[in-house]
């Protein structure tokens, strides 16, 4: 939800025209849009807790803009008939990228996250149709439905998976993914929350379903004392948005490249978010903590 708030806060205002996510705000409740509106207006709220939320959304926008721009541009350059989004969360690409009109999208996510997203997609339509708008996420209880906001992708298949427990290959098989034709795999904002073994197991599972001509786009975190200190501070301050999710694995670029190479995936680019920010913003600007976030693109041999 925080990532979605960050994208909504930056919609159309960042990256010199290269970033837009008009769908993000539509997936948020009125209460969740409050801090987004404050960040867009540049009006920090009074009160410590509200101010912490405001700063979290603002900082998140700084992170998601370069990574979204890099991923969207990599996706547009490599459109295939199958896109599998691992840990999709409130990813909006299937609803906002017209380049996916001939692509089937599998949104793979933890069952609890996915249930929440499906309710939000249904609510987005309700809101568009002028129906009552709920005040907070609690108002969504019981509202579910696979059909909602119309997708721009050829199809969207919600595929529940717990990476720590389930067999990703078997689940994708059942969901109709075809391992014999090229797939674009997208893995954004998830790797830090998995252990090294879970990351390896997921790479092995996707590699086993990766035909020649496929691509993996992976966002991960490299070790950084500065980023670790920033996260610790956020947890100590008790931000309700991020406090519950510890990072479990960090990867040096060489180690990530070596892991992918073991499974037949050759890294063709791997950039840190600060360098990416400098391609569309003031070369002297950007927080140095962005340097530890990375987006790598790897191609199957
Ligand atoms: C920070 S969100 C990122 C969402 C989205 N990819 C983005 O960048 O906006 C992390 C996502 O990873 C998923 N995730 C974390 N651990 C998982 C697990 N063990 N199995 C499945 N999904 C998991 C969560 O459900 C959540 O959707």
Nearest CA among 84, 97, 89 for reference residue 153: 97
Nearest CA owner, ligand 1 atom 1: 189
Cα-to-centroid distance, 17 and ligand 1 (Å): 27
Identify the pLDDT of residue 287: 81
Whole-number pLDDT of residue 224: 86
Q: Ligand 1, closest atom to CA 166?
A: 20
Question: What are the Cα distances from residue 276, in Å, to 14, 68, 197, 218?
Answer: 13, 10, 29, 15
Nearest Cα neighbor of 221 from 68, 83, 63, 75 is 63
Q: What is the pLDDT of residue 16?
A: 79
Whether 1 is in the pocket of ligand 1, judged by its Cβ within 6 Å, is no
Secondary-structure percent of the chain, ordered helix, strand, coil, rounded to 5: 50, 15, 40
> What's the pLDDT score for residue 289?
81
Q: Is 3 in the pocket of ligand 1 (CB under 6 A)?
A: yes
pLDDT reported for residue 141: 33
**3-class secondary structure, 110:** coil
pLDDT averaged over 10-residue windows placed end to end, the chain, 301 residues: 96 87 96 97 96 95 94 95 98 97 98 96 71 40 54 97 93 98 97 96 97 98 80 62 74 98 98 92 75 96 79
CA nearest to 100, candidates 114, 121, 85, 115:
85
pLDDT at 286: 72
Amino acid 127: pLDDT:
60
List own/partner pairs for 224-227 with CB under 8 A and 24 or more apart: 224/250, 224/289, 224/291, 224/292, 226/288, 226/289, 226/292, 227/289, 227/292, 227/293
């Amino acid at each position: 939800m925080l990532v979605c708030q960050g994208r909504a806060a930056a919609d159309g205002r960042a990256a010199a025209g290269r970033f837009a996510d008009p769908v993000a705000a539509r997936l948020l409740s009125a209460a969740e849009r409050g801090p987004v509106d404050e960040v867009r207006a540049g009006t920090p709220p009074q009160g410590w807790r509200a101010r912490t939320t405001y700063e979290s959304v603002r900082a998140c926008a700084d992170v998601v803009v370069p990574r979204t721009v890099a991923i969207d541009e990599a996706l547009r350059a490599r459109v295939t008939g199958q896109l599998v989004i691992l840990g999709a969360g409130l990813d909006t690409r299937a609803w906002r990228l017209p380049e996916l009109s001939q692509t089937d999208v599998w949104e793979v996510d933890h069952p609890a996250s996915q249930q929440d997203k499906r309710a939000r997609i249904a609510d987005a339509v309700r809101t568009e149709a002028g129906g009552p708008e709920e005040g907070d996420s609690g108002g969504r209880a019981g509202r579910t439905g696979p059909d909602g906001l119309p997708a721009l992708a050829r199809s969207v298949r919600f595929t529940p998976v717990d990476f720590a427990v389930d067999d990703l290959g078997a689940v994708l098989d059942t969901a109709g993914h075809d391992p014999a034709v090229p797939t674009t795999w997208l893995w954004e904002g998830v790797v830090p929350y998995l252990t090294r073994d879970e990351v390896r197991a997921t790479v092995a599972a996707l590699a086993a379903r990766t035909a020649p001509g496929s691509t993996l786009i992976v966002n991960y975190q490299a070790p950084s004392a500065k980023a670790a200190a920033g996260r610790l501070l956020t947890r100590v301050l008790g931000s309700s948005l991020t406090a519950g999710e510890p990072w479990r694995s960090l990867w040096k670029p060489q180690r990530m490249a070596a892991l992918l190479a073991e499974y037949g995936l050759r890294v063709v680019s791997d950039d840190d978010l600060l360098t990416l920010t400098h391609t569309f913003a003031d070369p002297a600007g950007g927080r140095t903590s962005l340097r530890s976030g990375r987006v790598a693109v790897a191609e199957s041999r």
